[in-house]
Homo-oligomer: A and B are copies of this chain.
């Protein structure tokens, strides 16, 4: 098996993206900017109420894997789709992006989907029906693939279902035992809220590289102070990359603290995937031995590309963008 820079594990999701106004969110009890899990009847009801949509492959960790590949890195993905049309779309798109993806399809539920409602300010509100993605079992955690990668990347969303959580822990053990680095994205402040105790233990004991935005890291450490939360994260992990939207990101290790500005964006169209793509750039940089600042700049660049259009997969090769900006040779 070829070596990989990053292997990501997460929910395999097809995004259904539509525009709406703030009144629509309020009328349907949605919390703007958040990800809410919904059951099958709720996803059908919301879908019926929303306007025309477009379908684009998504899933947080899958977006990150596609981003690493777009930088020219070698990425793999582990996640579960059904044998339906959305499953075929997901499989096609992630492989066409250059990502290794061999998790067999199946299970009784349909492929997971997320209704993403984008408001005129570019903010996204996600309503996710996990479907078959939660059936990712321990038998599908490909140990050989995980050992082939320098970094294992896990999305916090996996903690929302017991089976996926078990797969998550199993994967983290395989990576740790093989001397690989384990990276975690906290995914969403409400996800952190649902699983705070377990996340705290995990971050302290098993996570080498932590990704979180301001809301997530302050939720994790139950403080209103970003600075205080950042110091806790620094003590708990080898590396923390904390994103702050237009304020850029802060990268902390025991010996270093680097502030990286956000990359300029002409117009914010859809913020879906900003965190996922920041992680892609940062992980690509770390896997290729770049400085923390250079890795952070790749993260900013990838996040800026993704929020300038609809959908959370890159529309232009990120390696080209990075070369144009002088961030890669």
Contact = CB atoms under 8 A, between A and B. Distances in A.
Interface of A: 16, 19, 47-48, 50-57, 66, 84-86, 89, 92-93, 96-97, 110, 311, 313, 315
Contact of A52 (B52, B85, B97, B110): B97
Contact of A84 (B66, B85, B92, B311): B85
A311 B54 contact: yes
A315 B51 CA distance: 11
30 contacts: A16-B89, A19-B315, A47-B92, A48-B92, A50-B96, A51-B96, A51-B97, A52-B57, A52-B66, A52-B92, A52-B93, A52-B96, A52-B97, A52-B313, A53-B89, A53-B92, A53-B93, A53-B96, A54-B54, A54-B55, A54-B56, A54-B311, A55-B55, A55-B56, A55-B89, A84-B84, A84-B85, A85-B85, A85-B86, A85-B110
Give the dominant DSSP class at A's interface: mixed
Q: How many copies does the complex hold?
A: 2
A56 B15 CA distance: 12
Contacts of A16: 89
Nearest to A88: B47
